[in-house]
Amino acid sequence: MKGHGFDLPEAGPAFDEYIRQHNLSDRVKFVPGNFFNDDFPKADVVTMGHILHDWGLEEKKMLLSKAYKALPAGGAVIVYDAIIDDDRSQNVFGLLMSLNMLIETKAGFDYTAADCAKWMEEVGFKQTRTEHLVGPDSMVIGIK
């Protein structure tokens, strides 16, 4: 398996050092870019962890659309965050994180798995599913 990290150029040196320390330089590469201005690198799987909650709805959908365009047919996007349960009654951490995003960002907010799946479908993903991870985090997977 090979992969790459896509982030702002200033993150490159720390990324490369971490990869070198873990002897992964032959498998993991840094790709500099800005996900608002640049296309995502082509990949079979795109992951976004604790990314979408920082942004408003328009930016969330734009990032999912860029992920869709970077993937081949059958490719997957994996979004993980402190995703709020659909009835908004169980994941207290996710609810508090959403409040935190509303305070600390211009338009950011946390969201339910149903919300994320809907946005994925709106940008073209054909199948979605949700899986709980450790602690308050869950992931929503979209298949192109």
Concatenated DSSP letters of 79-94: EEE-PBPTTSSS-HHH
**59-118 pLDDT per residue, tens:** 999 999 999 999 999 999 999 999 999 999 888 999 999 999 999 999 999 999 999 999
Q: Do 21 and 44 belong to one domain?
A: no
Mean pLDDT, range 9-29, rounded to an integer: 97
Q: Do 79 and 131 belong to one domain?
A: yes
Q: Which domain holds residue 105?
A: 38-143
The pLDDT score that the predictor gives to residue 79 is 98
The pLDDT score that the predictor gives to residue 75 is 98
Chain centroid to CA 64: how far?
8
Q: Do 68 and 112 belong to one domain?
A: yes
Q: Do 20 and 52 belong to one domain?
A: no
Pairing of strands 28-32, 3-7: parallel
| Contacts with 22 (C-beta within 8 Å, 6 or more apart), sequence order | none
Q: Do 107 and 50 belong to one domain?
A: yes
The C-alpha angle with vertex 117 and arms to 56 and 126, in degrees rounded to 5, equals 125
Report residue 18's pLDDT band, with 50, 70 and 90 as the boundaries.
very high
Q: Is 53 a catalytic residue?
A: yes
Mean pLDDT, range 19-25, rounded to an integer: 97
Of 4, 50, 53, 132, the active-site residue reads 53
Are the CB atoms for 78 and 52 separated by under 8 Å?
A: no
Q: Do 87 and 119 belong to one domain?
A: yes
Distance CA(62)–CA(60), nearest Å, equals 5
Q: Do 68 and 130 belong to one domain?
A: yes
**119-137 pLDDT per residue, tens:** 999 999 999 999 999 999 9
Pairing of strands 127-132, 76-81: unpaired
Number of independent structural domains in the chain: 2
The pLDDT score that the predictor gives to residue 111 is 96
The pLDDT score that the predictor gives to residue 90 is 87
Q: Do 71 and 128 belong to one domain?
A: yes
**37-59 pLDDT per residue, tens:** 999 999 999 999 999 999 999 99
CATH number, position 58:
3.40.50.150
Pairing of strands 138-143, 76-81: antiparallel
Report residue 26's pLDDT band, with 50, 70 and 90 as the boundaries.
very high
